[in-house]
Chain A
């Protein structure tokens, strides 16, 4: 019942070497692009059923999310928290852990960083304050994942449920903090104190792209290298692929499990921090962008490869930013993005299934 079942739909390794690099590339293109296209197509059908022109919608998404300079910058900035989330999910899924609590970890860390940001920025130089915020966020995330981690590592309690519960708990707790503990007395709308623009993460080279993008890229690349090149990463992958073999090999599975939760939740939490200190500046009551679950299909699509994840996160960011524009213009609310992601996940699973069957038959 562990998430090593994940490896059934998305193999940890690259697909087996088929004769010729061209054939392999074609195969990869098929199993990766077909799900994306199919998802867009089917979602377009949903739009049609709801009375909206899908071409107009997608056109607007592309235009506002990618083809306009302003939109492109916004999309690139949006990538920052998403990349951290992807990094956190890669670590968890490769180790066979279903960390579905990323939304709670994200939000709680965002609130605490939002509260701690302004005082830190006043007391300490810029870089130090921002770094401390990230460290604080990681600590918050790790702490929030401790209970599910211990329950899974030492009691074998399924983490799908515990992490989900912690998300609901975390969302409510975050709201309590915003409305009561960290409320900015100067505003009428309940929110935390706002971090001054000058104290936030610097923008890149005179654009409006948040510096968090660089941090996010670094995070994903580091996670990828850790999982594929280091002994620690290999140990995590062994636990994820075959827990019994991990025990047989003498790996300290409970301790590794807790470590995985801490790292994964810490990264998800840093996503929240990066969003606050980079773009948002504060947390309003009842704010919950709920990126966590939406990033899951992207990571599967990338077969847990860090570099591929970056590409898909970019596509999702475009969809997300463009979608927000489309919501205003065409009246299609952002819920639509959830539908696209859901269809993508299902189609991806189907494509993997067909591919697997085809490979089995070819070996006959």
Chain B
């Protein structure tokens, strides 16, 4: 997709020398940016590059420590979200900002004069007409909690336009969409740019930046390291643009995507499956969370599970790990059913689960690293003896794992919540991969991690599989699955929509399976 020729007019929004500091980190360092009407301006950068902080300042949630924001050429501190909206800056955040128990229309009515009776009919009509103008169709009287994430995002975009936004900021908007959904959003962005709106699109995916952007600004570790203006962008093809962006980001000709390198050696074909799942169903609220899932994994094999977030992947993983009861079906490990076993028992048999919710579920943030490494083995020998703690054993165990997995921490007594996301992930990996792991389930293992940690994590997953671990890799990152998995299953609405071998056709077929089963 190429850009339509935007007006090279004066910028609506300009950032001059914007700086923002947080305890322990400089989130934005002297950033200059100009946003023009009718242009899709992409902010590209890795996680931790400072994109979200910039957006928070533009939408009035945070104040810069240094520098100025100019609106229509005049310096203008944006004091609050209300103020930002008044200036014509509308933001659609990565995490949906709609109250789930209210309908779309009711969400639109938030912030009106308080004694007023919200005119639901009029608001619904306004909403529908604007939505249609953008080629969208969403029921304005639907309760937002019941809409899909893609629809919620679209509703927020319509809301921003209804409020007269001249600048629309989309923060990592494609993170939760199907490939088709991403295309639709990209087309929507271009339509809006065509109507003269300035669109700021934040992403960490080069492909999207190239496909949808007119202008690309690259952020790295809080600084803006480069910008590709429209004329230049139009002149490059995708490969050239990628190389240039990578060069700007890393200063050297590095590999373009964080690949571990080398094609996977497929596992020995005669290996019998280690984990077999038959007709597994897990109850959920309303419809079943997981329904009639069947799969199997052999030692050394990596089975990827693709699908949009929220289609039962987490529940499937939890059921396999023993965290919640299944309503139907059976799970066999080494030919023996393990349905009656709890988390600890399954763990001892070698079945491990690396959760995606690192701080919310995987660790206790206030507890030291050493205890978190043993969180699933509380009371077991040799770390506890007759119920009493044995600190020397616990510490020795922790030191060994911290060294082996390269966990960067001030000490083994440091509360794990203090570590960076990448190091917390290393703690999780260390915990689950140590001590005779035979089947490991990973859930979004590299989500939100920086490049180096991502490569290291993927290497570990690959190495563990090469050593014989039967691996289930749940991920929303298609690139990751295509790189690591031998086979890829697609989950939709709690069911397996299909399983494909990871060959040259895999990308297309996975995309088809993802659409075919849902919006």
Contact = CB atoms under 8 A, between A and B. Distances in A.
A and B touch in the complex (CB under 8 A): yes
Interface of A: 7, 11-13, 16, 229-232, 234-235, 237-238, 241-242, 244-245, 247-252, 360-364
Contacts of B269: none
Nearest to B24: A363
A364 B376 contact: no
A250 B360 contact: no
A46 to B, nearest CB: 36
B366 A245 contact: no
A231 B355 contact: no
10 tightest Cβ-Cβ pairs between the two chains A and B: A250-B343, A231-B379, A363-B23, A364-B23, A244-B361, A250-B344, A231-B384, A242-B364, A248-B361, A241-B364
B362 A248 contact: yes
Given A229-B388, A245-B361, A364-B23, A235 B379 contact: yes
Contacts of B322: 250
Contacts of B371: 234
B389 interface: yes
A231 B375 CA distance: 11
Given A235-B378, A249-B378, A229 B389 contact: yes
A362 B365 CA distance: 20
A112 B27 CA distance: 63
Contact of B389 (A230, A235, A362): A230
8 contacts: A11-B366, A12-B366, A230-B389, A231-B384, A244-B357, A247-B323, A362-B23, A363-B23
A362 B23 CA distance: 7
Q: How large is the interface on B (under 10, 10 to 19, 20 to 34, 35 or more residues)?
A: 20 to 34
Contacts of B22: 364
Contacts of B389: 229-231, 234
Contacts of A16: 415
Most buried by B among A11, A231, A251: A231
Nearest to A230: B387
Contact of B24 (A230, A251, A364): A364
B367 interface: yes
Contact of A241 (B347, B361, B367): B367
B21 interface: yes
Interface string B476-492: 00000000000000000
B245 to A, nearest CB: 32
Contacts of B355: 248
Contacts of A245: 360-364, 375
Contacts of B368: 13
B177 to A, nearest CB: 27
Given A230-B387, A250-B322, A364-B21, 14 more contacts: A7-B366, A13-B366, A13-B368, A229-B389, A235-B378, A235-B379, A242-B361, A248-B362, A249-B375, A249-B378, A250-B323, A250-B342, A250-B347, A364-B24
B388 to A, nearest CB: 6
Contacts of A247: 323, 361
Nearest to A359: B23
Contacts of A248: 323, 343, 353, 355, 361-362, 376
Contacts of B388: 229-231
Contacts of A229: 388-389
A250 B376 contact: yes
A7 B362 CA distance: 18
Nearest to B383: A231
A252 B22 CA distance: 39
A250 B378 CA distance: 10
Interface string B328-369: 000000000000001110010000010101001111111110
A230 B357 CA distance: 27
A16 to B, nearest CB: 8
Nearest to B385: A231
Contacts of A232: 379, 387
Most buried by A among B343, B378, B388: B378
B378 A234 contact: yes
B251 to A, nearest CB: 28
Nearest to B346: A250
A7 B415 CA distance: 14
B373 to A, nearest CB: 12
Contacts of B376: 248-250
B366 A241 contact: yes
Nearest to B347: A250
A6 to B, nearest CB: 12
